Amino acid sequence: MNKILLLEDDPILSKTLIKYLHINGYVVDWAKNGEEALTLSYQNKYNLYLFDINVPLINGIDILTMLRESDDLTPTIIISALIDISSVTKGFIAGADDYVKKPFDPDELLIRIKAKTSTLKEKLKFKEFEIDVHTNEVFYKAKAINIGDVQKKILISLIKNHPNPVVKDELFELLEKPSDLALRVNITKIKKNLDVTIENVRGVGYKII
């Protein structure tokens, strides 16, 4: 699973992005300032950096410059409200691979992230399942499966997050009328129709095994 380091000091935007990216199969570590980002980059391996520029302690451009000087070539997308040509130029000179101006469309950002993490044409595999990450088409034993749209979304979410559980609140967002009963019914149908094992992680949500 692709892992992203997000450097952003706006808590509302950060939480929204983390939730959105998690639903789309990404693990996100959040740094609220430049020093946190630098520490996390040394402690972990990431598939992508998503950096704002104007953040406390060390700005995103300086962080990226330091990482590139230490031969860290992790793909980097800058997200910033600074839209003047000077700021954009500085971003690319520092080593950015892309520059997205705030406010942005989350779907557009996701496409750019997929392009940088090489997932636009990849297929996600789990046992005898295969998901076209770009189209979200699901194949079982090399054949496209025909299940309800809601069940399909739940299955994709579970597979994308495997081996970790998907929290119940995120699964609720995939339901037309969210409720514990509706979620259990859809989980049961998936298990019955596709002969898969899905466990209830008490107090958290569900995971596929």
The residues spanned by each domain of the chain are 3-116, 123-208
| Inter-residue contact 116 to 48 (CB < 8 Å) | yes
Question: Can you read off the two tokens belonging to residue 43?
Answer: 């402690």
Question: Shortest CA distance to 76 belongs to which of 86, 85, 63?
Answer: 63
Backbone dihedral region for residue 58 (phi beyond 0: left; psi -120 to 50: alpha; all else: beta): beta
CATH code of the domain occupying 123-208: 1.10.10.10
β-strands 48-51, 76-80 pairing: parallel
pLDDT at 120: 47
Can you give the length of the chain in residues? 209
CATH code of the domain occupying 3-116: 3.40.50.2300
Output the tens digit of pLDDT for each of the chain's 209 residues.
688 999 999 999 999 999 999 888 889 999 999 999 999 998 888 889 999 988 999 988 999 999 988 888 888 999 988 878 888 888 888 888 888 888 888 888 888 888 787 654 567 788 888 887 667 788 888 888 888 889 999 998 898 878 888 888 889 989 988 999 999 999 999 998 888 999 998 888 999 98
Question: Shortest CA distance to 51 belongs to which of 43, 60, 40?
Answer: 60
Q: What one-character-per-residue DSSP string does 9-54 give?
A: --HHHHHHHHHHHHHTT-EEEEESSHHHHHHHHHHS--SEEEE-SS
- Asked if the domains 3-116 and 123-208 are classified in one and the same CATH topology, the answer is no
pLDDT at 36: 93
